[in-house]
Amino acid sequence: MSNDAMPRITGSANAGSSRFLLPTRRSVLAGGAALIGGAALSAPYVSRAYAAETLKFWQFYAPGGTVGSQVTWFEQMVKSWNDQNEVKVELVYVPNNEYMNGSKLQTAFASGGGPDLFIISPGDFLRYYNGGVLADLTPYIDEAAQKDFPESVIANRKVDGKIYGIPMEVEPMAMYYSIKAFEDAGLNENDVPKTWDQLLEVAKKLTTSDRFGVLFETQPGYYQNFTWYPFMWQGGGDFQTAEGKSAFNSPGTVQALKLWQDAVNSGAAPRKPLGGGGWDVVPNLGSGYCAMQNVGIWAIAALREGAPDFKYGIFKLPQPAGGKYVTVGGGWAFVANARGKQVEAASKFCAWALGSMAPDSIQRVVDWCTVAKSDMPPRQSALEKGAAAFNEGMMKVFSQEIYPGTRAEPRVPPQVYKIISDAIQATQLNGQDPAKVAEQASAQLDGFLAGYSGAPIL
């Protein structure tokens, strides 16, 4: 390289007049950097301007859900709101498994974001309430509407008398069975088990080389805990005393752990459910993988949609000797992000959708529980308005036999449900002694509860 060649390469004055016509390397780089920089700097303003008009509503039903009637319900609700309001709502679909067992929602909040609107179950209420991201919806709900929610339904969404979530539904757990499987085994509806012993006995009779007799959830997580609680309660067990100490080490708890262990050890219950898990009825009961399944009221709509020709029956949870009938009622609720950009609009949306005395709000709850899904309504007015639907077919079994014994799903912080989940897993799938496991879990619970300072665990 020669000395006088260097200035030309760097595009100095020696390059002559052509430098004004042809872009130099430096000018291209500078222009590109300016363009990228400008775009990067303006992006937040563009996105903020868009976000200011739209409330993001995260849930696992629409627009990507697989059940058409539920997609329609959500879309119609949002369209109705958007037609009447300046601040729009946009549905953001998160697959069910990712929503319940994944990390998308938690991660969004941890990174300082999070949707303006989302749905939560009682099992996860305390995580968000204690994190300070649930908006107080009480000012936006009429007094009459507040009274329309039975205390047993709304209690686990309240703290200090204020409402932080408006329930969409009540979802009691029951047992479903395949009529064909019963007939193949020479059984009929008179053989429907009423006690735990009968449940195990019938499950063994229904077990074949291609089919399990009964299915309980086996995947760890708060859904599994939710489905196990009624078995614990039926024998008088609980996880917490009225004084806030652990009550986990009790005969009622131990026998509930043992029931699920016996079901697996006898070979009558699978160690792995199909599809999304124990809540998913079509791939399990509907496909013939099991003959009886412990699942909630939503399974009626799921079977109606996914296996319309499948013949099945429903019965309430069997009881232990000397125990009393009780089931658990879960259900999701609309909540607004207290740190969202438009908290008031988001809170108003929740109240407008599910918590108003306006006829369309009540009808929306009826439609959700009878057309889009199969659930018990969380409001007295909806129960009356949809009386006909709640008292026919399979819904009648729920409204008359199963629902009356419903206890609300407990709300616990993640640390508590992890302890309970580990106890269930250790006994159900790892063959550990239920009494010993209950004792260890109880000690862990006591350790956690002693230092806990969030909203009351119910």
Partner 1 sequence: MSEAMSRPSSTPAARKAAGFRFSARHREWIAGYLFVAPDAIGLFVFAGLPMLLALGLGFFTLDGFGGFQFSGLANYRRMFVDPLFLQSLKVTLAYVLMLVPSLYVVGLALALMVQKGSVLNAVIRSMFFLPQMVSLVVVALVWQVLLVDKIGLVPKMTGFLGLGGLSWLGDPDLALVSVVVVSVWFLMGFYMLIFLGGLQDIPREYYEAARMDGAGYFAQLRHITLPLLRPTSFFVLLVSTVAAVAGGQAFDLIYVMTKGGPANSTSLAIYYIYQQAFQYNEYGYAAAMASFLVLLLMAMTLLLFVLTRGGRFNYD
Looking at the Cβ atoms of 98 and 344, the one nearer to partner 1 is 98
CA distances, 343 to each of 20, 34, 118, 125 (Å): 55, 37, 12, 18
Q: Does residue number 211 form part of the binding site for partner 1 (CB under 8 A)?
A: yes
Q: Which of residues 76-105 bind partner 1 (CB under 8 A)?
A: 101, 103
Q: Does residue number 108 form part of the binding site for partner 1 (CB under 8 A)?
A: no
Q: Does residue number 204 form part of the binding site for partner 1 (CB under 8 A)?
A: no
Q: Rounded to an integer, what distance in angstroms lies between the CA atom of residue 395 and that of residue 388? A: 10
Q: Does residue number 3 form part of the binding site for partner 1 (CB under 8 A)?
A: yes
The SS3 of residue 246 is: strand
Task: Tell me the window of 47-55, 56-64, 131-139, 243-251 that interacts with partner 1 (CB under 8 A).
Answer: 131-139
Q: Rounded to an integer, what distance in angstroms lies between the CA atom of residue 147 and that of residue 99? A: 31
Task: Tell me the window of 15-23, 312-320, 352-360, 425-433 that interacts with partner 1 (CB under 8 A).
Answer: 425-433
The single residue listed with the structure tokens 């932080």 is 164
Q: Which tokens sit at 16?
A: 């002559």
Task: Work out how close the CB of 386 gets to partner 1 at its nearest, in angstroms, rounded to a whole number.
Answer: 36
Task: Work out how close the CB of 51 gets to partner 1 at its nearest, in angstroms, rounded to a whole number.
Answer: 19
Q: Does residue number 106 form part of the binding site for partner 1 (CB under 8 A)?
A: yes
Of 14, 47, 66, 430, the one binding partner 1 (CB under 8 A) is 430
Q: Does residue number 322 form part of the binding site for partner 1 (CB under 8 A)?
A: no
Q: How many CA atoms lie within 13 A of 63 on its CB side?
A: 8
Of 130, 146, 266, 380, the one binding partner 1 (CB under 8 A) is 130
Q: Which of residues 243-282 bind partner 1 (CB under 8 A)?
A: 267, 270-272, 274
Q: Rounded to an integer, what distance in angstroms lies between the CA atom of residue 168 and that of residue 186? A: 40
Of 11, 95, 150, 221, the one binding partner 1 (CB under 8 A) is 221
Task: Work out how close the CB of 92 gets to partner 1 at its nearest, in angstroms, rounded to a whole number.
Answer: 19
Task: Work out how close the CB of 281 gets to partner 1 at its nearest, in angstroms, rounded to a whole number.
Answer: 17
Looking at the Cβ atoms of 236 and 414, the one nearer to partner 1 is 414
Of 21, 86, 132, 151, the one binding partner 1 (CB under 8 A) is 132
Q: Which residues of 308-334 are buried (b: 16+ CB within 10 A; e: fewer)?
A: eebebbbbbbbbbeebebbbbbbbbbb
Q: Does residue number 289 form part of the binding site for partner 1 (CB under 8 A)?
A: yes
Task: Work out how close the CB of 110 gets to partner 1 at its nearest, in angstroms, rounded to a whole number.
Answer: 5
Q: Which tokens sit at 266?
A: 């006898």
Q: Does residue number 164 form part of the binding site for partner 1 (CB under 8 A)?
A: no
**Total residues binding partner 1 (CB under 8 A):** 38
Q: Does residue number 451 form part of the binding site for partner 1 (CB under 8 A)?
A: no
Q: Rounded to an integer, what distance in angstroms lies between the CA atom of residue 100 and that of residue 380? A: 28
- H helix intervals, 142-265: 143-148, 151-154, 179-184, 196-206, 222-234, 251-265
Q: Rounded to an integer, what distance in angstroms lies between the CA atom of residue 239 and that of residue 232? A: 9
The single residue listed with the structure tokens 């499987």 is 181
Q: Which tokens sit at 200?
A: 């195990």
Q: Does residue number 212 form part of the binding site for partner 1 (CB under 8 A)?
A: yes
Phi and psi based region of residue 85 (left: phi greater than 0; alpha: psi -120 to 50; beta: remaining)? beta
Q: Does residue number 112 form part of the binding site for partner 1 (CB under 8 A)?
A: yes
Q: Does residue number 188 form part of the binding site for partner 1 (CB under 8 A)?
A: no
Of 214, 426, 438, 449, the one binding partner 1 (CB under 8 A) is 426
Q: Does residue number 218 form part of the binding site for partner 1 (CB under 8 A)?
A: yes
Q: Does residue number 308 form part of the binding site for partner 1 (CB under 8 A)?
A: no
Of 209, 242, 309, 453, the one binding partner 1 (CB under 8 A) is 209
Q: Does residue number 429 form part of the binding site for partner 1 (CB under 8 A)?
A: yes
CA distances, 57 to each of 68, 97, 111, 180, 337 (Å): 18, 17, 17, 41, 10
Task: Tell me the window of 109-117, 152-160, 162-170, 308-316 that interacts with partner 1 (CB under 8 A).
Answer: 109-117
**Residue 242: count of CB within 10 angstroms of its CB:** 7
* Structure-derived torsion over alpha carbons of residues 94, 99, 101, 107, reported in degrees to the nearest 10: 90
Q: Does residue number 24 form part of the binding site for partner 1 (CB under 8 A)?
A: no
Q: Which tokens sit at 347?
A: 């809170």
Contact predicate 198/318, CB 8 Å? yes
Residues engaged in binding partner 1 (CB under 8 A): 1, 3, 101, 103, 106-107, 109-110, 112, 127, 130-133, 209-212, 218-221, 267, 270-272, 274, 289, 414-415, 418, 422, 425-426, 428-430, 432
